[in-house]
């Protein structure tokens, strides 16, 4: 990947400064000997790619990709390379901190672990006594492999109030596919001959192995169609790019279904044997013609017809890729249902080059028995949307209820590896939520915005400094990974398992009793009866059982839906008063003089977490606001000018990027800049924050936030 070379080059130029920091007595001698090559997995984003850390003289000199790793296939992206910068970033959290000034003022004092942990436990108990145990909420994200211990603390403490990232990310996707197939499958990108990607920017928003497989294809037969209001790097790799009008993908999908049915191109035997409700789909789509769709999505009817035919003819090695982030519009679940149904009717289910249900390697489970509490109420967001996940509260309605104090007060906040001030829409509203908390504790590796507004900040050891438990990652080729410490944890940072145990100790014997385990014991439980897993992790950095996919495991078997079949028509939805077949809703009309705000990822940055990384910031110091060239000319705005972007919930000032790569009715900014925290010294004051502009719209089926429902106006700053 070209981004890879670029990041490596920059690593070279900055490495001296950072390593000077490391060598000035801050690195204690490594646990593993002075020079070592350590197998571990990347912690810079959700993908968990395989890494070999080159440790020389007690310093992590370089991170290399692990060629044994079948998921990331010898690739480490720019962010993965820049992981060294996380460890040696002068801005990393070093010691426990206790706030001394007002919230957000950034005045903290260094505290001992003893004092900080005593305070956290005391405050948690105070909130529990004054309100209830449910009065403490727990916010987190997956990815550290240690989030399980955080969730365990919540449950053992007696709070049902877990909110995590899925309802900011992919919960409508999961919901749409679960309702149709009873599972959320993986598209077999490597073996597909025809791929349609809509709003899944795989060349920049990296998902391994899809981002790599997308470029490989099979013997040149591959065709890639890409739909995005922006010309992204994925668009550049595609055979055809269509600048679809934002929020209209379902029109395109329904019109494709219309053509495929009308022209008899669907897979009759698959539909007959494996699906229910096809008879209801036929009349449902009859008015959704390509000519109708053209008026909605602005893709020519003739092209929709041709793509539908090509797609069906390439079946079953054809996929309408459903992507990962689906927090687009407020009707997102229905779009994902439409995509699931379109895939189903061409019979690409569980076959080579189609939609393949995930396999997973079974490993042992670290178990515990939470103390019994009589008074645990329902989670705060209960009943707010049609389908809530058991583990993950729906962030936006959850926050509404915290602010309303109903049905009960939530006054304490424990945060682990989540930067909700950057990731939950409407930052001002999130700040209000934080304002009304009696107590906030954040466990992070850097002074994120959320940490900056907290009362106690606890430094976790980074992913290159700690032993993490095993993680079994499902997929077409499932793997088991872990993380080993490459160097001893710097400063006073500690792994989360230690932090959780210390808090538990202070919460009373009932809770403490459930935290009587070491990381070694957790791992022994995970590999019980399977010593080969540990051996593979130690010697190759990854465990897997097969290198060739298995297809057809679910064919002819019951799926995990009520009917046991693919549910084209959803009785379940009908009973809840939801549309049992996806009904198109046109996006709101853009008001005159305004633009729809689109957000997304840049290949060099992970969410709001890496823009302060010295290596990555050196490549791209700030984000810009993309505006179409014609539109800029009409408005008298020039490239590089500073503009103020204003929505109903906030305003941000950033540099204008005038470009042909975006439709005239939208503007775009990359996620992850415009931070509030002055503890992020490299990026502070640079760029704008998308979360400060996005309003609080969400999908009423899955609770997923809708990040593209906001209109903004722009003016010269
Ligand atoms: N405006 C806007 N909002 C969005 C998105 C968007 O594009 N725009 N994207 C959405 C998506 S797809 C997602 S998945 C969510 C993600 O949003 P979040 O769930 O908030 O996750 P991150 O933004 O990755 O924040 C992770 C935090 O964990 C810290 N961290 C990193 N590694 C470690 C570690 O090892 N230990 C600890 N304790 N902390 C660590 C980082 O410093 C950071 O503060 O955001 C969503 N929200
Ligand atoms: N480099 C990098 N890679 C990542 C991450 C990261 O932070 N950085 N995060 C990971 C995570 S958690 C996730 S969820 C994924 C996200 O992966 P993606 O969802 O692929 O990425 P995004 O950039 O969030 O958004 C996708 C694209 O949708 C386009 N878009 C907006 N509205 C519409 C619309 O209505 N229709 C269509 N067709 N397109 C639209 C946007 O212009 C944008 O280019 O990436 C993962 N990989
Ligand atoms: S995609 Fe990049 S940042 Fe994400 S895990 Fe892989 S190497 Fe790390
Ligand atoms: Mo995500």
Pick the ligand that lies closest to the CA of residue 47.
3
pLDDT single digits (tens) 167-196: 999 999 999 999 999 999 999 999 999 999
Structural domain 595-716, CATH architecture: Beta Barrel (2.40)
Ligand 4 centroid – CA 655 distance (Å): 26
**Cα(284)–Cα(685) distance, integer angstroms:** 52
**Cα(353)–Cα(551) distance, integer angstroms:** 10
Element (H, E) at 525: helix 519-526
Atom of ligand 3 nearest to the CA of 45: 4
pLDDT of residue 652: 98
The share of the chain scoring above pLDDT 90, in percent, equals 92
pLDDT single digits (tens) 633-655: 999 999 999 999 999 999 999 99
**Is the N-terminal amide bond of 316 cis, ω within 30° of 0?**
yes
**Once rounded to an integer, what is the mean pLDDT over residues 127-152?**
96
Any ligand 2 atom below 6 A from CB of 573: no
Instruction: Sort 630 into a burial class: Cβ within 10 Å, 0-12 / 13-18 / 19+.
Output: exposed
Ligand 2 centroid – CA 103 distance (Å): 32
Enter the DSSP assignment of 524.
H
Position 137 pLDDT exceeds 50: yes
Any ligand 2 atom below 6 A from CB of 598: yes
Any ligand 1 atom below 6 A from CB of 168: yes
Ligand 1 binding pocket mutation candidate from 468, 609, 695 (most atoms within 8 A of CB): 609
Placement of tokens 């206790």 in the chain: 98
Mean pLDDT, all residues of the chain: 94
- Which carries the bigger pLDDT value, residue 691 or residue 143? 691
Ligand 4 centroid – CA 417 distance (Å): 14
DSSP sequence for 148-194: HHHHHHHHHHT---EEEGGGGTTHHHHHHHHHHHSS--EE-GGG-SE
Atom of ligand 2 nearest to the CA of 198: 38
pLDDT single digits (tens) 206-224: 999 999 998 876 556 689 9
Token pair, residue 263, equals 């022209």
Atom of ligand 1 nearest to the CA of 446: 42
DSSP sequence for 4-65: HHHHHHHHHHHHHHHHHHIIIIISPPPTT-SSEEEEEE--SSTT--EEEEEEETTEEEEEEE
Ligand 1 centroid – CA 445 distance (Å): 12
**Cα(149)–Cα(686) distance, integer angstroms:** 35
Kindly give the pairing relationship between strand 439-444 and strand 456-459. parallel
Pick the ligand that lies closest to the CA of residue 7.
3
Q: Please, are residues 498 and 386 in contact by the beta-carbon 8 Å criterion?
A: no
Position 197 pLDDT exceeds 70: yes
Q: Please, are residues 676 and 452 in contact by the beta-carbon 8 Å criterion?
A: yes
Assigned CATH topology for domain 97-161+385-540: Rossmann fold (3.40.50)
Position 13 pLDDT exceeds 70: no
Q: Which residues contact 105 (CB under 8 A, 6 or more apart)?
A: none
Closest C-alpha residue for ligand 1 atom 29: 417
Assigned CATH topology for domain 186-356: Dimethylsulfoxide Reductase; domain 2 (3.40.228)
3-state DSSP assignment of residue 500: helix
Element (H, E) at 624: strand 624-628
At the top level of CATH, the class of 5-87 is mainly beta
Closest C-alpha residue for ligand 1 atom 31: 417
Instruction: Report CA Rg, the chain.
Output: 25
Position 488 pLDDT exceeds 80: yes
**Once rounded to an integer, what is the mean pLDDT over residues 420-440?**
98
Ligand 1 binding pocket mutation candidate from 93, 144, 608 (most atoms within 8 A of CB): 608
Atom of ligand 3 nearest to the CA of 76: 7
Distance of CA 292 to the CA centre of its chain: 34
Atom of ligand 3 nearest to the CA of 44: 3
Closest C-alpha residue for ligand 2 atom 24: 600
**Cα(491)–Cα(360) distance, integer angstroms:** 37
Any ligand 2 atom below 6 A from CB of 153: no
Any ligand 2 atom below 6 A from CB of 94: no
Ligand 2 centroid – CA 543 distance (Å): 29
- Which carries the bigger pLDDT value, residue 22 or residue 662? 662
Report which of 131, 129, 147 is spatially closest to residue 139, judged by C-alpha positions.
147
- CB-defined site of ligand 3, < 6 Å: 42, 44-45, 47-49, 72, 76-77, 79-80, 206, 208
Ligand 2 centroid – CA 246 distance (Å): 13
pLDDT of residue 35: 82
**Cα(658)–Cα(641) distance, integer angstroms:** 9
Domain boundaries, the chain: 5-87, 97-161+385-540, 186-356, 595-716
Atom of ligand 3 nearest to the CA of 606: 3
Q: Please, are residues 297 and 332 in contact by the beta-carbon 8 Å criterion?
A: no
Instruction: Sort 370 into a burial class: Cβ within 10 Å, 0-12 / 13-18 / 19+.
Output: middle
Report which of 210, 280, 214, 285 is spatially closest to residue 252, judged by C-alpha positions.
285
pLDDT of residue 73: 85
Report which of 248, 663, 646 is spatially closest to residue 428, judged by C-alpha positions.
646
Element (H, E) at 241: strand 240-242
Element (H, E) at 78: helix 78-81
**Cα(341)–Cα(284) distance, integer angstroms:** 13
Any ligand 2 atom below 6 A from CB of 148: no
Ligand 4 centroid – CA 167 distance (Å): 9
Position 382 pLDDT exceeds 90: yes
3-state DSSP assignment of residue 109: strand
Any ligand 2 atom below 6 A from CB of 346: no
Element (H, E) at 540: helix 531-540
Q: Please, are residues 455 and 435 in contact by the beta-carbon 8 Å criterion?
A: no
**Once rounded to an integer, what is the mean pLDDT over residues 444-464?**
98
- The neighbouring-strand residues paired with 99 are 108
Ligand 4 centroid – CA 90 distance (Å): 27
Those residues whose beta carbon sits under 5 angstroms from the ion ligand 4 are 169, 325
Placement of tokens 């591959």 in the chain: 222
Instruction: Sort 550 into a burial class: Cβ within 10 Å, 0-12 / 13-18 / 19+.
Output: exposed
pLDDT single digits (tens) 327-368: 999 999 999 999 999 999 999 999 999 999 999 999 999 999
pLDDT of residue 233: 96
Ligand 1 centroid – CA 478 distance (Å): 24
- The neighbouring-strand residues paired with 457 are 97, 442
Token pair, residue 431, equals 């700040």
Distance of CA 635 to the CA centre of its chain: 36
Ligand 2 binding pocket mutation candidate from 187, 214, 419, 600 (most atoms within 8 A of CB): 600
**Cα(478)–Cα(685) distance, integer angstroms:** 42
Any ligand 1 atom below 6 A from CB of 426: no
Pick the ligand that lies closest to the CA of residue 200.
2
pLDDT single digits (tens) 235-286: 999 999 999 999 999 999 999 999 999 999 999 999 999 999 999 999 999 9
pLDDT of residue 415: 98
């Amino acid at each position: 990947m070209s981004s890879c070379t670029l990041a490596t080059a920059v690593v070279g130029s900055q490495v001296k400064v950072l390593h000077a920091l490391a060598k000035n007595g801050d690195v204690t001698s490594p646990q593993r000997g002075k020079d070592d090559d350590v197998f571990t997995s990347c912690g810079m984003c959700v993908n968990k790619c395989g890494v070999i850390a080159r440790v020389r003289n007690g310093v992590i000199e370089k991170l290399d990709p692990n060629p044994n790793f079948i998921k990331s296939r010898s690739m480490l992206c720019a962010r993965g390379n820049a992981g060294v910068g996380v460890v040696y970033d002068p801005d990393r959290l070093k010691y426990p901190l206790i706030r001394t000034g007002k919230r957000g003022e950034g005045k903290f004092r260094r505290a001992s672990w003893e004092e900080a942990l005593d305070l956290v436990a005391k405050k948690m108990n105070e909130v529990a006594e004054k309100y209830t145990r449910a009065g403490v909420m727990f916010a987190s994200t997956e990815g550290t492999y240690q989030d399980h211990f955080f969730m365990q603390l919540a449950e053992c403490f007696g709070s049902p109030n877990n909110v995590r990232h899925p309802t900011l990310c992919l919960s409508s996707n999961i919901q749409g596919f679960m309702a149709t197939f009873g599972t959320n499958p993986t598209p077999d990108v490597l073996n597909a001959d025809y791929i349609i990607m809509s709003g899944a920017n795989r060349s920049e928003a990296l998902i391994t192995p899809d981002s790599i497989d997308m470029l490989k294809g099979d013997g040149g037969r591959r065709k890639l169609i890409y739909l995005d209001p922006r010309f992204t790097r994925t668009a550049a790799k595609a055979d055809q790019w269509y600048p679809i009008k934002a929020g209209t993908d379902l029109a395109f999908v329904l019109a494709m279904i219309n053509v495929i049915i009308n022209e008899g191109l669907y897979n009759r035997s698959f539909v007959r044997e494996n699906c229910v409700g096809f008879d209801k789909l036929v009349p449902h789509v009859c008015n959704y013609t390509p000519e109708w769709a053209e008026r909605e999505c602005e893709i020519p009817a003739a092209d929709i017809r041709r793509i539908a035919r090509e797609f069906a003819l390439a079946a079953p090695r054809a996929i309408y890729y459903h992507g990962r982030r689906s927090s687009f519009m407020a009707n997102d679940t229905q779009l994902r249902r439409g995509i699931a149904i379109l895939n189903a009717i061409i019979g690409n289910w569980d076959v080579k080059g189609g939609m393949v249900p995930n396999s997973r390697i079974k490993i042992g489970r670290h178990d515990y028995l939470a103390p019994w509490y009589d008074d645990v109420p329902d989670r705060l967001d209960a009943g707010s949307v049609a389908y809530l996940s058991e583990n993950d509260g729906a962030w936006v309605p959850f926050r509404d209820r915290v602010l309303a104090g109903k049905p009960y007060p939530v006054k304490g906040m424990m945060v682990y590896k989540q930067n909700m001030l950057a990731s939950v829409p409407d930052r001002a509203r999130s700040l209000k939520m934080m304002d009304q908390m009696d107590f906030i504790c954040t466990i992070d590796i850097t002074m994120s915005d959320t940490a900056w507004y907290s009362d106690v900040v606890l430094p976790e050891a980074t992913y290159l400094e700690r032993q993490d438990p095993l993680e079994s990652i499902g997929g077409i080729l499932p793997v088991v990974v872990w993380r080993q410490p490459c160097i001893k944890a710097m400063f006073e940072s500690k792994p989360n398992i230690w932090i959780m145990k210390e808090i538990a100790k202070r919460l009373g014997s009932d809770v403490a009793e459930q935290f009587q385990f070491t990381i070694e014991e957790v791992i022994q439980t995970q590999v019980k009866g399977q010593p080969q897993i540990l051996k593979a992790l130690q010697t190759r950095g990854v465990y897997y059982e097969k290198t060739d996919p298995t297809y057809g495991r679910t064919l002819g078997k019951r799926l995990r839906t009520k009917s046991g079949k693919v549910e084209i028509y959803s009785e379940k939805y009908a009973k809840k008063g939801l549309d049992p077949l996806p009904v198109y809703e046109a996006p709101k009309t853009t008001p005159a003089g305004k633009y729809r705000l689109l957000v997304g990822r840049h290949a060099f940055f992970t969410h709001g977490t890496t823009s302060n990384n010295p290596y990555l910031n050196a490549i791209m110091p700030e984000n810009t606001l993309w505006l179409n060239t014609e539109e800029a000319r009409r408005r008298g705005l020039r490239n590089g000018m500073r503009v103020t972007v204003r929505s109903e919930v906030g305003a941000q000032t950033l540099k204008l990027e005038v470009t042909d790569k975006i439709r005239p009715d939208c503007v775009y900014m990359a996620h992850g800049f415009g931070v509030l925290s002055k503890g992020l010294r490299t990026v502070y004051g640079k760029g704008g924050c998308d979360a400060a502009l996005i309003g609080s719209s969400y999908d009423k089926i899955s609770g997923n936030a809708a990040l593209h429902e906001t209109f903004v106006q722009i003016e010269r700053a």
